């Protein structure tokens, strides 16, 4: 997964020119409608106050992609909250870009953690075996002993029960990233929007092969061994692990919410009505209406996507 996504000469994120949009492989929420970013801004304004109006107010965005979300967030802040905008220092983080040394403010991301390479394991009786990849004339999966004791720790934290023969993903990079953020954040909030689950949701469905999926030209592909370097490979975020890793670091989590709930909590509906009243939403414009539908439709992307807000020390 690491090689397919990040190899400097052949990796998906490092070489594919068009990932997003109609010519690419998928859309993300920032493409559906700027009201997604505007709702995030309402939350940011709240945290700015909670953090006692830091100056500078860092906004660190992990995995910015084409940068639509950051652009819409900064634009909204500039228009509506110029006094906060004046305090903002924005850090877009992409592959190969270092995080700022010291952070006071908000570290946020949309579909970042689900892109990190994972270990895969399979349960065999009382044992957890790692799934390796052997590359020769063909690509084959080979089971062996686990390489890293943290894999077992992750399994115990993230999955209350393990089922015989089932495969699970273990996202140690996510854990490393949270620990790295903890070293850098003086006071702040980590706000994560991503495909993911808590234990209850994970357990509610049969997932013998875990959640690893690929996206290629707007199609879901279940085989990660085809389209190498030309398709995205993702796995759902285990929010149970994210929350507990934070808690071990002394962070406090707000309850996990669906993206839909989060957007509504932060005034998406009111904002919609406001814009409609100002005539900014031309209801005849199909694209705009579809974008909004995607953001609000029950059972759609906004219910699969979750939002976790973690408060990191000093407030």
C-beta of 18 vs 282, nearer to ligand SAM: 18
DSSP bridge pairs for 238: 197
From 191, 188, 128, select the one nearest 158 (Cα to Cα). Answer: 128
Q: Contact residues for ligand SAM (CB under 6 A)?
A: 13, 20, 28, 30, 63-65, 69, 93-95, 110-112, 115-116
> Using CB atoms, what's the residue nearest to ligand SAM?
63
Using the minimum distance from each CB to ligand SAM, give the nearer residue, 114 or 243.
114
CA distance 108 to 161: 31
3-state secondary structure 273-290: HHHHHCCCCCCCCHHHHH
Beta bridge partners of 170: 119
Distance CA 300, CA 280 (A): 25
Taking the complex as a whole, the smallest distance from the CB of residue 93 to ligand SAM amounts, in Å, to 5
Task: Kindly tell me which of 83 and 98 has the beta carbon lying closer to ligand SAM.
Answer: 98
Q: Which is nearer to ligand SAM, 94 or 276 (CB)?
A: 94
Distance of closest approach, residue 69 Cβ to ligand SAM, in angstroms: 6
Residue 154 beta carbon to ligand SAM: minimum distance, rounded to whole angstroms: 18
Q: Tokens 């030209």 map to which residue?
A: 217
> Closest distance between ligand SAM and the C-beta of residue 310, in Å?
18
In the complex with ligand SAM, the residue whose CB is nearer, 37 or 128, is: 37
Least distance (Å) from ligand SAM to the CB of residue 116? Answer: 6
87 or 212: whose CB is closer to ligand SAM? 212
The residue (of 68 and 266) whose beta carbon lies closer to ligand SAM is 68
Of 249 and 301, the one with the shorter C-beta distance to ligand SAM is 301
Contacts of 99 (CB under 8 A, 6+ apart): 60, 91, 93, 180, 181, 184
- 10 Å Cβ neighbour count for 108? 24
Helix (H) or strand (E) holding 221: strand 219-221
Write down the least CB distance from residue 225 to ligand SAM, Å: 20
Residue 171: CB minimum distance to ligand SAM, A: 12
Exposure letters 229-255 (e unless 16+ CB within 10 A, then b)? bebbbbbbbbbbbbbbbbeebebebee
CA atoms within 13 A on the CB side of 306: 21
Shortest Å distance, C-beta 126 to ligand SAM: 34
Sequence-ordered list of residues with C-beta below 8 angstroms from that of 108, at least 6 positions apart, any chain: 40, 59, 60, 61, 62, 190, 191, 192, 193
């Amino acid at each position: 997964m690491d090689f397919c996504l990040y190899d400097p000469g052949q990796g998906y994120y490092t070489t594919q020119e068009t990932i997003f949009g109609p010519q690419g492989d998928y859309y993300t929420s920032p493409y559906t409608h700027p009201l997604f970013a505007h709702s995030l801004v309402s939350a940011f304004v709240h945290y700015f106050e909670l953090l006692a109006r830091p100056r500078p107010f860092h906004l660190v965005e992990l995995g910015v992609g084409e940068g639509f979300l950051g652009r819409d967030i900064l634009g909204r802040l500039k228009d509506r909250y110029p006094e906060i905008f004046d305090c903002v220092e924005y850090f877009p983080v992409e592959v190969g870009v270092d995080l700022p040394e010291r952070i006071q403010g908000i570290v946020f991301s949309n579909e970042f953690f689900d892109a990190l390479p994972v270990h895969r394991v399979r349960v065999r009786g009382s044992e957890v075996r790692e799934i390796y990849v052997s590359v020769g004339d063909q690509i084959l999966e080979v089971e062996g002993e686990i390489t890293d004791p943290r894999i077992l720790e992750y399994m115990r934290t993230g999955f209350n029960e393990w089922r015989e023969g089932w495969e699970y993903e273990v996202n140690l990079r996510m854990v490393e990233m949270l620990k790295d953020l903890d070293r850098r954040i003086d006071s702040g909030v980590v706000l994560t929007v991503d495909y993911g689950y808590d234990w209850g949701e994970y357990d509610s469905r049969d997932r013998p092969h875990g959640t690893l999926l690929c996206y290629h030209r707007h199609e879901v592909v279940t085989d990660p061994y085809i389209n190498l370097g030309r398709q995205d490979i993702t796995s759902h975020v285990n929010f149970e692990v994210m929350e507990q890793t934070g808690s071990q670091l002394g962070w406090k989590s707000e309850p996990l919410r669906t993206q839909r709930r989060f957007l509504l909590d932060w005034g998406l509906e009111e904002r919609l009505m406001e814009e409609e009243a100002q005539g900014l939403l031309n209801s005849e414009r199909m694209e705009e209406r579809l974008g909004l539908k995607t953001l609000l439709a029950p059972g759609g992307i906004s219910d699969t996507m979750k939002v976790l807000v973690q408060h990191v020390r000093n407030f």
